[in-house]
Structure 1
Amino acid sequence: MTTARAATTPVTTADPVRRWVSARLRILLWLLLVMAVALGAVAFATRSVLLKEADDRIRGLLVQETAEFANLARQGVDPRTGQRFTDPQALLRLFLERQYADPDEELLGLTEKPGDRPRKMVQPREPRVKNPLAKDEGAFTEIFESEDSLGTLHRSRGEVRWARVDIEADSRMPRAAFVVAFHPGGEQKKADDVFTMLLAISGVALLMTTGIGWAVAGRILRPVRLIRTTAAQLTEQDLTRRIPVQGRDDIAALAETFNAMLDRLERAFAAQREFVDDAGHELRTPITIVRGHLELMGDDPAEREETVRIVLEELERMSRIVEDLLLLAKAERPDFVAPEPVQLGELTADVFVKARALGERTWLLGSIADAEVRLDAQRITQAMVQLAQNAVQHTVTGQQVTIGSRIEEGRVELYVADGGPGVQPQDAQVIFERFRRGTARRGARATGAGLGLAIVRAIAEGHGGRVELRTTEGGGATFVLVFDLDAETILLTAGEEPAEEAVP
């Protein structure tokens, strides 16, 4: 018992998170994620560009200052002697006095002091940078002794970008060098400030997007919520609710598709209810007859034989009714008919041969269309034989019944015409409905459940055509199956042959 119970226990595979995270919230979260990534990428890219520009500007300043000093060292003249510079200290002093450093820039002169650290020479103006290199002896000593002429010094008090120009002098002179030092902290702070500002703007934009996105997502998903609400309110007894369609976007197309689905469901349920109602209505009478005769059946053999005959007839009638109802129920299915190329002349002749056995009438084969069309030959034969049976029931022995086919005015027609009393005008609109018969019967043999013409109409409509009632010349009724050539019934070859074959 435990195993059986476990086998029938339903398994829920839905993601539990989705049970409380609505589509509206998921759309908003994805939108915010995409925007956050995009805005973050813009902020980081902007910071990278600013840092790159600052790095290029610093490199340009270092190159410019060193180039100016190198030019002075090569071509400059000492104002005190009027000759080229021979003393490195005099060269450094003159250059430092004449230059104006940028706010984040330092200009230094370094000379070698035998047996001790190098001696620095600074500009007479106080440097405008924090933690200047001139006050960090270890740092400018490292720069002076470095084998490179350009580099970056990483200090705990801030990074320094530097460039050095060694002064060529007499070997008797102490070694000297000019150093340009730039403190990039200010430039980096500017880039960081812009980055922080972009992040703040991005935060405000995300907040605004949250409100706008929530409202827009709700507006977009409103038809979807309406569809869900409508679907929850649908019952087998009420399929009349529809979704109002507004606009021409994907949501409107979804609403139209949903409404079309409801139309199909409503027709299917209506057909089901109609089938049940019709079956109950028509089967009640033969069941009552069978029950009554069986209850009253006595021991007399003749009476028992008569009762058995009546019961068998009623059961046969019930069987025909059930088969007809099942056929009408199948008419709602897309595979009710299976059209394929058919020779219309052969089909007409075949129907005529089969119809002659229905009764002693003067059977006449009318015009025959020589054409190949796409039709379901079995269903068309069934409809035409039913029309012929209907003609037999409403005519008497010897009266004329004509079967034929023709092509005229862009349509294919198959017809059955009889010489009976015809159909009353008040009956013309109802005889094709289920279980409806004409108020004025046209013959003593007019029997049946009233499903024959309904089946004919279902077969015609299954081909995309229709059945029409017309008056026969000289009196009587003509039933015509009409198929337009632009529907599923496609004309392949056309022609028409007159035929006049009368069979008593």
Structure 2
Amino acid sequence: MTTTDPVRDTRDPDRIRGTRIPARVKIMAWMLGLMLLVLATVVLVVWQLLASGVDNRVARAIEQEAGEFANFAGEAKDPATGQPISDPYRLLDAHLRAQYPDAFEVHLGITRTGDRLRALRQGEPPYDIGADDALLRQIVDSPTPHGQADTPAGPFRWGKVHALPREGTGDGGWFVTGYFLTGVGAQDRQTIDLMVLVSAVGLLVAALVAWLVAGEILAPVRMVRLAAAQIGEEDLRRRIPVHGRDDISALAEQFNAMLDRLEQAFRAQREFIDDASHELRTPITIVRGHLEVMGDDPVERAEVVRLCTDELDRMSRIVEDLLLLAKAQRPDFLRPEPVSLAELTSDIDAKVRALGRRRWVLETLGEGNVRLDPQRVTQAVVQLAQNAVQHTSDGDEIRLGSALYGGAVSLWISDEGRGIAPADLDRIFERFARGPSRPADRGGAGLGLAIVKAIAEGHRGTVKVLSSPGKGTTVGIELPNSQSVVDGVG
């Protein structure tokens, strides 16, 4: 029986429907397809316009020639008598002698006597219509003054005008003029052929330009892809160069921002693993050592159990502190809300008094509403108070204060302990850092001040220390009191 992988099932259809055609080729294909459509449309439109132009020119030319013959027939006179010409043959012959048709134009004079047709032709057309008796009869017998016939030289469009028909008989004459459309449209076809050739060359040039332009546009995307392929957990410092302010540059900026977040996440994970392996190794060793040498004596067993329980509690506190520091990188680390600074300070004062038998003094109480995470701020100030208790003795004075000024919130703890050496001021907020002045018998893993710093930075604030050896220490957090601290953002 086979099982189905739901993840694979959701991916396979997309993989099957996908394409391996490079984006550069797709861009070029779309550009060429669009150009081909536009050029084809232009060629077809021009072709239709030229074809329509040929029809109009031929129709106007036939109408003009017919009108000229009609005018000539109405005014022509016999030179010998001075009277109008009455013989159709002489009338047609006189008119044709004065005509000079184009290469694909034909002028005919057709006379009929009885059943016999006789044709007079002017010009050298590609096909001798005057010798085609069937075509002549088709033209003469047509009831319309114009028409079109098929010839070995292509379509022939004609127009005719009666020339002195004899009343009551079938005899008479006709002036026929026409054009071979294939020849007339030859120049237009050459124009279309030239347009097609130029379009083909233009497409080739456009293909080359599209290939180069697409490559230039996609170069940053290709850099992003190559960078993504080369980036690993051990090489998250690589970034994409950003040039310009276009969409591709914005993509590179977003990719770099994503790498920043990944690097920060991997760094936090690596620090968590390193810190956990470093700090948990000692209590584990202690527990294992005591269990290995534990004897059968009940008193000894009870002592070993007490020591192991103490070490396990210390391990639990270390793990909780490490998880808290790891959570400081998450967006839901803080939950700011409007609170009263005076009430918050009073609540903290009530809590820290239970940390040790010291002379607790609430020296300053800030007034006003502030926006911060009250639980995290309380945790930070209580941690500072706990540190002060560990570095002072019974009966020593420890002062708590708060203030609201210039858009900033400040809370601090002051003691009269040994103070901190200047060399230790820069490292006391590091993880597992222990100053040399700290008593060796005090518990803790050295994560307290690191947690305080994480809470302050989560509020976009800072931690400040004022201390001199033998003169006590003041440690406080200064936070912005601004609506820019968005709920849930650390």
TM-score when scaled to structure 2? 0.89
Residue number in structure 1 paired with 2:390: 393
**Do 1:87 and 1:169's aligned partners in 2 also have CA atoms closer than 8 Å?**
no
Q: What SS does the corresponding residue of 1:360 show, helix, strand or coil?
A: coil
Q: Is the 8 A contact 2:371 2:482 kept in 1?
A: no
Which residue is 2:330 aligned to?
333
Between stretches 176-185 and 411-420, larger displacement belongs to 411-420
CA shift digits 1:108-142 (9 cap, x unpaired) = 2233433x25433323xxx2321143333322322
Distance 1:101 1:304, change over 3 A: same
Aligned AA (1:171)? E
Pairwise CA distance, 1:330 = 1.1
Q: Which amino acid aligns with 1:129?
A: P
State the shift of 1:430 in Å. Answer: 0.8
Superposed, 1:272-283 pairs within 5 Å as 272-283=269-280
Q: Supply the RMSD in Å over aligned alpha carbons.
A: 2.9
The aligned residue for residue 154 of structure 2 is 158
Deviates more, 1:142-151 or 1:79-88: 79-88
Matched, 1:462 2:427: no
Alignment-derived partner of residue 121 in structure 1:
120
Contact 1:227 1:255 in 2 (8 A): yes
Contact 1:160 1:183 in 2 (8 A): yes
Structure 1 residue 61 displacement after superposition: 1.2
Q: Matches of 1:413 and 1:133 in 2, distance apart?
A: 112
Q: After TM superposition, list the pairs within 5 Å mapping 1:22-421 onto structure 2.
A: 22-114=22-114, 116=115, 118-123=117-122, 127-167=123-163, 169=165, 171-172=167-168, 174-421=171-418
SS in 1 for 2:252: helix
- Preserved CA contact (<8 Å) 1:483 1:489: no
Is the 1:342–1:374 Cα contact (8 Å) retained in structure 2?
yes
Mean CA deviation greater in 84-93 or 387-396: 84-93
Q: Name the stretch that deviates more: 306-315 or 322-331.
A: 306-315
C-alpha distance in 2 between matches for 1:402 and 1:135 = 130
User: Is the 1:466–1:481 Cα contact (8 Å) retained in structure 2?
Assistant: yes
CA separation of 1:82 and 1:6: change in aligned 2, threshold 3 A: same
Q: CA deviation at 1:67?
A: 2.0
Please state whether the residue corresponding to 1:47 is helix, strand or coil: helix
SS in 2 for 1:279: helix
* Aligned equivalents of 1:54, 1:344: Cα separation in 2: 93
1:119 is paired with a residue whose SS is strand
Gaps (5+ residues) in structure 2?
A: none
- Whether contact under 8 Å (1:150, 1:164) holds in the other structure is yes
Secondary structure of 1:358's aligned partner: coil
Tell me by how many angstroms 1:8 deviates.
9.7
CA-to-aligned-CA distance 1:246-291 (integer Å, 9 cap, x gap): 3433333322322222222222112111101100111111111111
1:452 equivalenced with 2:451 (yes/no): no
Q: For 1:139 and 1:146, locate their aligned partners in 2 and report how far apart those are by CA, in whole Å.
A: 11
Q: Structure 1 pair 391/138, CA: closer, same or farther in 2 (3 Å)? A: farther
Q: Give the 3-state SS of the residue equivalent to 2:354 in structure 1.
A: helix
Contact 2:166 2:172 in 1 (8 A): no
Count of residues in correspondence between the two structures? 484
Q: State the partner residue of 1:493.
A: none
Shift of 1:327: 0.9
Query: 1:315: Cα distance to partner?
Result: 0.9
Q: 2:433 aligns with which of 408, 433, 436?
A: 436
CA distance in 1 between counterparts of 2:180 and 2:204 reads 38
CA distance in 2, matches of 1:465, 1:438: 24
1:401-458 Cα offsets, whole Å, 9 max, x none, are 33333222332222233332332211111111111122222x6874311111111111
Q: What SS does structure 1 have at the residue aligned with 2:185?
A: helix
Equivalents in 1 of 2:451, 2:78: separation in Å? Answer: 123
Amino acid at match of 1:25: V
1:359/1:392 contact within 8 Å kept: yes
Distance (whole Å) between structure 1 residues aligned to residue 453 and residue 116 of structure 2: 116
Partner deviation per Cα, 1:214-268 (whole Å, 9 max, x = no partner): 3333333333333323222222223233333334333333223222222222221
Measure how far apart 1:208 and its partner are: 2.9
TM-score by length of 1: 0.86
Relative to structure 1, is the Cα distance of residues 60 and 288 closer, same or farther in structure 2, using a 3 angstrom cutoff? Answer: same
How many angstroms apart in 2 are the aligned matches of 1:166 and 1:450?
123
CA contact (8 A) 1:393 1:444 kept: no
Question: Once the two structures are aligned, what percentage of the paired residues are identical?
Answer: 47
Distance 1:242 1:404 in 2: 45
Contact 1:28/1:214 (CA < 8 Å) preserved in 2? yes
